[in-house]
Structures are given as structure tokens and as C-alpha cells.
Amino acid sequence: MSTPAFADLVADEPLTITSARARATEVGCPAIAPAVGASLAALAAAVKARAVVEIGTGAGVSTLWLLAGMRPDGVLTSVDTDGEHQRATRAALTDADIPTPRARLINGSATDVLPRLADGGYDLAFCDASPGEYPDYLHHLRRVLRTGGILAWHGVLARGRIAEPSARDPDTVAWRDLLSALRAEKSVRTAVLPVGDGLLIAVPT
């Protein structure tokens, strides 16, 4: 068994999330691997997350994993431009018996929604959308995150191009720009977790 397969097996994905994953496939929405979901749930639990924002729903897969790690009274704000993906997310929330007040789904772009979110109001922010926009999100993500909260982005190791100096495609350049911006901030601790397509995390200190 490969290491990624073992990590996914250890994640022990609940049936409700497996069902959401199947629905994501039906609507053509890429979804995070079980090991990534388990990592997000652990991070949410570590900061006792009461308020989380995610950019990109993954058709409910990442939504359910994040909620699994959050406090029972926590509220997740999910932002996505794709209405079909959000409908799939609603179905996943219903299947998992998640009370409506615990998940706020917003149809719109992160560049429009993030500026409207409260300063320091979130314990964790997760992005699984277009890497080309990530550097533009950073200022707002830092603003809405509370001290000691966690920022996370999925996909930094996708296609293995981040480590190739000759790779200059837009997504790879955007990842490098984001990493450079994080390294330039001395008050931020960063790490890359080699699960799924790579989970980049940053903790402002």
C-alpha cells in the first residue's frame, strides 16, 4: 500500500463524507483527499474553532471535514462561485444532519466576500479554489483571522511543479508568490503538509 493510500485509510472517512465525495464526482468538482480532510479537522480541533471560512466548497467534502473538527456551536462560512457545487454542499449538509445555522453558504467570489468579513472574527481559513487568486486573498485572510488562528491552502504540491525552477505556468507562479509573501512576514510560521495535493499552512504569531 502506498503512503498516500495509507494516510487516506487512517483518515477513516465517515460515510456521509464518502457520499459527498461521490456527489462531487457527479458534478465535476475536485474534492480534497481523505487525509487532507482529516488534517483540516485536526487543525480545527486544535484551535477549538468556533468560526471558520472556506473558499471553495469541494461540493461539501471539505465543508463536512471542517465541521467535524469544529466546536459543536461553531459556524462555517463557505464561499463559492459555482451554484451547482453549493447545491451539492447543501445536499451533503442535509445528509449529515448538520443544522442549518451551522453552515452559511455564500454564492460569490472571494475577492468580493472577504472584504465584508469581520476583522479577527475567524479561527481558521481554508482555500481550495483558483491558485491564481491566492496572493490577492492574503491581506484579507490575515485581517479576518484571529491571533493564533490558522490559514490553510490546498494544492501547493499539485503536479509536482512547485520545486521545478523552469515551471512558469500561472498557477505555479501564484503559489511561489504566496510562499514569498508568507516568508517575508517574520510573524508567520509556515509549513507544507505532504497530504493529498499538498496542504500549505500558516500561523500568524
Which residues are known catalytic residues? 154
Task: Please choose, from the candidates 102, 141, 127, 151, the residue with its C-alpha nearest in 3D space to the C-alpha of residue 32.
Answer: 127
Sequence spans of domains, the chain: 3-204
Please return the burial class of 75, using the count of CB atoms within 10 Å of its CB with bins 0-12, 13-18 and 19+: middle
Count CB atoms within 10 A of the CB of residue 82.
17
Alpha helices in 61-156 (DSSP H): 61-69, 83-95, 110-113, 134-144
pLDDT tens for the chain, residues 1 to 205? 677 778 777 778 899 999 999 999 998 888 899 999 999 999 999 999 999 999 998 889 999 999 999 999 999 999 988 888 899 899 999 999 999 999 999 998 888 999 999 999 999 999 998 888 888 888 899 999 998 999 999 988 877 777 777 777 888 888 888 888 888 888 889 999 999 889 999 998 8
Residue pointed to by grid coordinates 451554484:
83
Side chain identity at residue 65, one-letter code = W
Start-to-end C-alpha separation, the chain: 38
Q: Please give the CATH topology (third level) of the domain spanning 3-204.
A: Rossmann fold (3.40.50)
